[in-house]
Amino acid sequence: RKEVEQDPGPFNVPEGATVAFNCTYSNSASQSFFWYRQDCRKEPKLLMSVYSSGNEDGRFTAQLNRASQYISLLIRDSKLSDSATYLCVVRGGGFKTIFGAGTRLFVKA
């Protein structure tokens, strides 16, 4: 089993749609969780951290379920500019950081 697994995608959605990405992690000692965004042929950039209480940033909502070792990212009212690959990132003991393989999102007009 991979340490961090994401929905394989790609997701193809129309503008204005709501889309959700899921991520599971295997190490129960993991401490910090993040979502990164990576545009085509660009470097990953931090989208948002994920907190146990859940957090929201505009159209983006991240949730963490430690009991199920599950992280999610919800994007509401999708824009064309949201088209990218979304990487789930898990940081555990010894500050070891594992990136998921990413989920590709295409938002269509």
Partner 1 sequence: EAGVAQSPRYKIIEKRQSVAFWCNPISGHATLYWYQQILGQGPKLLIQFQNNGVVDDSQLPKDRFSAERLKGVDSTLKIQPAKLEDSAVYLCASSLYRGEGSDYTFGSGTRLTVV
Binding residue for partner 1, selected from 1, 40, 81, 95, defined by CB under 8 A:
95
Report the C-alpha gap between 45 and 102 in whole angstroms. 13
Report the C-alpha gap between 101 and 83 in whole angstroms. 16
Would you give the binding string for partner 1 spanning residues 14-43, x where CB under 8 A is met?
-----------------xx-x-------xx
Nearer to partner 1, 39 or 77 (CB): 39
The H-or-E segment that residue 48 falls in is strand 45-50
Nearer to partner 1, 17 or 92 (CB): 92
Q: Classify residue 46 by its DSSP letter.
A: E
In the complex, the residues that contact partner 1 under the rule CB under 8 A are 4, 31-32, 34, 42-46, 49, 87, 91, 94-102
